[in-house]
């Protein structure tokens, strides 16, 4: 069964006043995010989301709430994530939604939920907001993975509530949002205990959950509310003091972009993404500030690309605008360390990392109109290839941001990742940029061009490359690109996404999970799944 997909116009814009599944409440320096999923309020209104199970619409609201905490509520230092249901924290992703989804949707759903949980950890590490999972009931699958993204996990001790990752024994798949990695890498649970835990469909409760390191504390129901309140205060007291006092409201993006244009050619299975540089380089402490609005539009376009245009395989990335102003904006972002500018930088870094794990080929085109300058220079580095025209007025201009303010998933700058074999080359690029824009010939010598061609050959080189790319297996390209984009040291994120690029494109299409008698297909039915017992 491979029929379900979200409505093609599913919106990635929302607001707390329109949340159907979450409630965001602010009390001084402590926020509370309460999950109470509306059973028939998901992307598919005919599908019931039981037991606080979630679909994409639930996670869109969660991602929005985390983003708003960072920009609109800078006074918040701790956030409690809990459930509005008694005896249920969260059952994870809705199984019937997953079982009936298309393969591309399954993969992109898991990828999006991963990015949201990584954004929680990013907010803890870089924005001074500590997160406490108040698990007031059964916490299973993706629900436990949500808790794992928090700084602390407290489980209610009521004799029945457990934490569990039941995907292997029940569904024949793996936890989809980093659960296995976080159990051993983040919480450092012993390998043998982690192995036992991940094959116990019923999960682990009470003191054993604490002893194994799966949660930080278990608390009786009579003391649960008071304990959560005190632990939240303790977390807030340890948070950095320098966050601001007045927030910046975030407007809706919609599909009418100001700084990004996104066009699709379904016939050739290609898209063109054009990012326009700033028209001025002044600081505006509101949501119209160019690098904030531009990055949010780019993020929005990447999500539409994933969920609305699954047949598009290649994206041509272009930029336009005033290189001087873009460079000035980049220097402003790099040198100003106010809370607002810091959040703008962090948001831009998250958007670029969203591009890093988007399963599409990206080719950057550098010509006379281009503005790969300042923050937009990172777009060139984020692409799989760069095609640079050999002509006057064609240049690139990296700035201070490229020295470390916008790290990739591996913790390195994109220049460092590009030049792993010779780290000094990254320094040479930055040194050359201090003298001004880098012309095409110099960019080629510095290793910034995949193809450097004059106007006679340039368009033909690009055309042939596009046609060749379209002829290759999309599955093979996805695996290849994800391997190459994660060069360098491993981090929690690279482990999660590196493994996902393998298993999401394998386990989800294997008959043991999604075949006619696979575990995911047979879930909820009286018949037992049937497995091909051969190991590969």
Phi, psi of 49 (to 5 degrees): -95, 90
Confidence band for 2, pLDDT divided at 50, 70 and 90: very low
Query: What is this structure's pTM?
Result: 0.95
pLDDT score, position 99: 87
Residue 201 has pLDDT above 50, yes or no: yes
pLDDT score, position 334: 97
Q: Of 1-15, 201-215, 338-352, which range is least confident?
A: 1-15
Helix axes 103-126, 339-356, angle to 10 degrees: 150
| CATH 3.90.226.10 placement within the chain | 16-238, 260-477
Confidence band for 510, pLDDT divided at 50, 70 and 90: confident
Residue 226 has pLDDT above 50, yes or no: yes
What ranges make up the beta strands (E) of 292-400? 314-320, 361-366, 385-390, 395-396
Q: What is the pLDDT of residues 264-319, one digit of tens each?
A: 999 999 999 999 999 999 999 999 999 999 999 999 999 999 999 999 999 999 99
Average pLDDT over residues 84-100: 94
Q: Of 283-292, 326-335, 477-486, which range is least confident?
A: 477-486
pLDDT score, position 198: 97
pLDDT score, position 362: 98
In sequence order, the 6+-apart residues with CB closer than 8 A to the CB of 511 are 517, 518, 532
Q: What is the pLDDT of residues 8-60, one digit of tens each?
A: 467 999 999 999 999 999 999 999 999 999 999 999 888 999 999 999 999 99
The burial of 459, by beta-carbon neighbours within 10 Å (0-12 exposed, 13-18 middle, 19 or more buried), is given as middle
The overall average pLDDT reported for the chain is 94
Helix (H) or strand (E) holding 265: strand 260-265
- The larger pLDDT score, comparing residue 536 to residue 131, is at 131
Confidence band for 325, pLDDT divided at 50, 70 and 90: very high
DSSP secondary structure string for all residues of 33-53: EEE---TT-SSSTTS---TTE
Q: Of 74-83, 175-184, 491-500, which range is least confident?
A: 491-500
Centre a 10 Å sphere on the Cβ of residue 46 and count the other Cβ atoms it contains: 7
78 within 8 A of 30, measured Cβ to Cβ: yes
- Sign for the CA dihedral angle at 71, 73, 75, 79 comes to negative
What percentage of residues in the chain have a pLDDT greater than 90?
84
Residue 174 has pLDDT above 50, yes or no: yes
Centre a 10 Å sphere on the Cβ of residue 466 and count the other Cβ atoms it contains: 18
Domain spanning 16-238: CATH 3.90.226.10? yes
Residue 401 has pLDDT above 80, yes or no: yes
59 within 8 A of 111, measured Cβ to Cβ: no
Residue 185's SS3 state is: helix
Average pLDDT over residues 369-379: 98
pLDDT score, position 502: 62
Classify residue 509 by its DSSP letter: G
Residue 1 has pLDDT above 50, yes or no: no
Read off the tokens for 193.
Answer: 């205990």
Centre a 10 Å sphere on the Cβ of residue 467 and count the other Cβ atoms it contains: 12
The CATH number of the domain covering residues in 260-477: 3.90.226.10
pLDDT score, position 238: 87
Give how far Cα 519 sits from Cα of 23, 171, 500, 507, 513, Å: 34, 5, 19, 11, 5
């Amino acid at each position: 069964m491979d029929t379900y997909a979200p409505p093609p116009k599913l919106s990635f814009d929302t607001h707390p006043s329109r949340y159907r599944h979450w409630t965001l409440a602010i009390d001084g320096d402590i926020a509370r995010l309460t999950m109470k999923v509306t059973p028939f309020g998901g992307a598919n209104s005919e599908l019931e989301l039981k037991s606080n199970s979630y679909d994409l619409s639930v996670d869109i609201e969660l991602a929005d709430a985390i983003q708003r905490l960072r920009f609109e509520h800078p006074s918040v230092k701790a956030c409690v994530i809990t459930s509005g249901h008694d005896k249920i924290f969260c059952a994870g992703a809705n199984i019937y939604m997953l079982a009936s989804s298309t393969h591309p949707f399954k993969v992109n759903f898991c990828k999006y939920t991963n990015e949201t949980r990584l954004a929680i950890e990013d907010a803890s590490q870089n924005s001074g907001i500590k997160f406490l999972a108040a698990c007031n009931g059964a916490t299973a699958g993706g629900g436990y993975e949500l808790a794992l993204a928090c700084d602390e996990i407290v489980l209610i001790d009521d004799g029945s509530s457990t934490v569990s990752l039941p995907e292997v024994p029940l569904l024949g798949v793996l936890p989809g949002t980093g659960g296995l990695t976080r159990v051993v890498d983040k919480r450092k649970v012993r390998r043998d205990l982690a192995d036992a835990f991940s094959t116990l469909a019923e999960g682990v409760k009470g003191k054993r959950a604490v002893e194994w390191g799966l949660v930080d504390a278990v608390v009786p129901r009579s003391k649960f509310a008071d304990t959560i309140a005190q632990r939240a205060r303790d977390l807030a007291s340890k948070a950095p003091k320098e966050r601001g006092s007045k927030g910046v409201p975030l407007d809706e993006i919609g599909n009418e972009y100001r700084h990004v244009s996104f066009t699709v050619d379904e016939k050739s299975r290609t898209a063109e993404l054009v990012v326009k540089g700033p028209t001025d380089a002044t600081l505006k402490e509101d949501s119209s500030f160019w690098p904030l609005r531009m990055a949010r539009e780019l993020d929005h376009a990447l999500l539409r690309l994933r969920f609305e245009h699954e047949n598009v395989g290649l994206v041509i990335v272009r930029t336009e605008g005033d290189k001087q102003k873009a460079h000035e904006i980049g220097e402003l972002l790099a040198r100003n360390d106010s809370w607002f500018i810091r959040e703008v930088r962090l948001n831009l870094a998250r958007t670029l990392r969203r591009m890093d794990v988007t399963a599409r080929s990206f080719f950057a085109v550098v010509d006379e109109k281009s503005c790969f300058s300042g923050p937009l220079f990172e777009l060139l580095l984020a692409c799989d290839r760069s095609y640079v025209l050999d002509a006057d007025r064609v240049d690139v201009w990296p700035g201070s941001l490229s020295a470390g303010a916008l790290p990739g998933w591996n913790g390195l700058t994109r220049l460092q990742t590009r030049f792993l074999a010779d780290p000094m080359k990254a320094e040479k690029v930055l040194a050359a940029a201090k003298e001004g824009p880098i012309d095409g010939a110099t960019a080629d010598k510095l290793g910034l061009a995949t193809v450097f061609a004059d106007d006679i050959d340039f368009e033909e080189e690009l055309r042939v490359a596009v046609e060749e790319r379209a002829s290759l297996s999309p599955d093979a390209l996805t695996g290849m690109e994800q391997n190459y984009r994660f060069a360098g040291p491993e981090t929690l994120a690279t482990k999660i996404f590196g493994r996902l690029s393998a298993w999401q494109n394998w386990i989800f299409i294997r008959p043991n999970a999604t075949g006619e008698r696979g575990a995911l297909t047979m879930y909820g039915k009286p018949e037992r799944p049937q497995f091909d017992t051969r190991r590969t």
